[in-house]
């Protein structure tokens, strides 16, 4: 079990932000957790601790948003996402710690810049199976590596112009399936060891609290304010991890 107090100083707010985001905003901000935890522990350990917590959140999310997702999007995205998870598991040992930090940092910074600079096209796009397969596979891969599958998923879902509850429900179901699939390769790779599971157990009460808080806040709090704060967290933690990754590769 992790005893470093600084880990919990970062892990507790990160986990609450993830829960609130997954429970009521469906924005992909959930990628903040691993970058924040990775400031004090290795990336693979941070990802392993988060996985069982995400699985608990997913159960709450399924209960909250049952049968409100977009079926057509799910049918196109999920098979490709499972393939992405398999590729991530098979290539996991090839990625060094600096490479993981750099990859997560770049994804996080790019996600925020895309939001801030408005690079994504305006107007509602029509469903596109080829794009769904590509985004689903990349989302499955990045979700396996560091639970950072939100940005690729949003690249497909956001342009569709789905109603807010449908968007959140679709993201909840997508990651519920992906996260439970990930349990098998994480166990196979030895990531779900007693130390990581004990640390996850300590943080477990925050998982349903964050999810239910997000569902409650969705109708009561300005999404814009919450998102501005979260995007700021993601940008600065992503920038820090990018710097650490580049520094590590240059040593």
Contact 211, 57 (CB under 8 A): yes
Distance of CA 229 to the CA centre of its chain: 17
Q: Provide mean pLDDT across the span 227-239.
A: 73
Per-residue model confidence as pLDDT tens digits over 137-164: 988 998 898 787 877 787 788 778 777 7
Task: Record the pTM.
Answer: 0.79
Per-residue model confidence as pLDDT tens digits over 159-198: 787 777 787 788 889 999 999 999 999 999 999 999 999 9
Contact 164, 105 (CB under 8 A): no
Range of the domain at 70: 5-250
How far apart CA 168 and CA 207 sit, in angstroms, is: 17
How far apart CA 233 and CA 122 sit, in angstroms, is: 26
- Mean pLDDT estimate for the chain: 83
Return all residues near 72 (Cβ < 8 A) that are at least 6 apart: 127
How far apart CA 18 and CA 209 sit, in angstroms, is: 11
If one counts the domains in the chain, the total is 1
Whether 214 has a pLDDT exceeding 80, the answer reads no
Q: 């469903």: which residue's tokens?
A: 127
CB count within 10 Å of CB 64 equals: 20
How far apart CA 37 and CA 49 sit, in angstroms, is: 10
How far apart CA 24 and CA 214 sit, in angstroms, is: 4
Q: What are the angstrom distances between the C-alpha of 70 and each of 20, 133, 145?
A: 21, 15, 26
Helices and strands of the chain, counted as H and E runs: 11, 0
Backbone conformation region of residue 128, classed left if phi is above 0, alpha if psi is from -120 to 50, else beta: beta
């Amino acid at each position: 079990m992790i005893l470093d107090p600084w880990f919990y100083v970062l892990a507790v707010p990160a986990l609450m932000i993830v829960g609130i985001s997954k429970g009521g905003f469906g924005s992909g901000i959930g990628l903040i957790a691993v970058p924040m935890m990775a400031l004090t522990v290795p990336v693979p350990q941070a990802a392993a601790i988060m996985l069982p917590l995400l699985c608990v959140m997913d159960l709450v999310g399924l209960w909250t948003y049952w049968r409100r997702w977009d079926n057509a999007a799910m049918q196109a995205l999920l098979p490709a996402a499972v393939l992405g998870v398999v590729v991530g598991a098979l290539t996991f040992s090839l990625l060094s710690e600096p490479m993981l930090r750099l990859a997560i940092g770049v994804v996080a910074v790019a996600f925020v810049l895309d939001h801030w600079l408005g690079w994504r096209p305006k107007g509602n796009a029509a469903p596109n199976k080829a794009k769904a397969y590509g985004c689903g596979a990349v989302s499955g891969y990045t979700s396996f590596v560091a639970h950072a599958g939100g940005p690729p998923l949003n690249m497909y879902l956001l342009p569709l112009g789905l109603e807010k509850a449908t968007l959140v429900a679709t993201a909840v179901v997508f990651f519920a399936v992906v996260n439970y699939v990930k349990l098998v390769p994480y166990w196979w790779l030895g990531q779900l060891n007693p130390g990581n599971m004990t640390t996850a157990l300590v943080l477990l009460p925050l998982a349903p609290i964050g999810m239910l808080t997000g569902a409650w806040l969705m109708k009561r709090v300005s999404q814009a304010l919450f998102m501005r704060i979260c995007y700021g967290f993601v940008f600065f933690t992503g920038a820090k991890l990018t710097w650490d990754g580049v520094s590590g590769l240059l040593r």
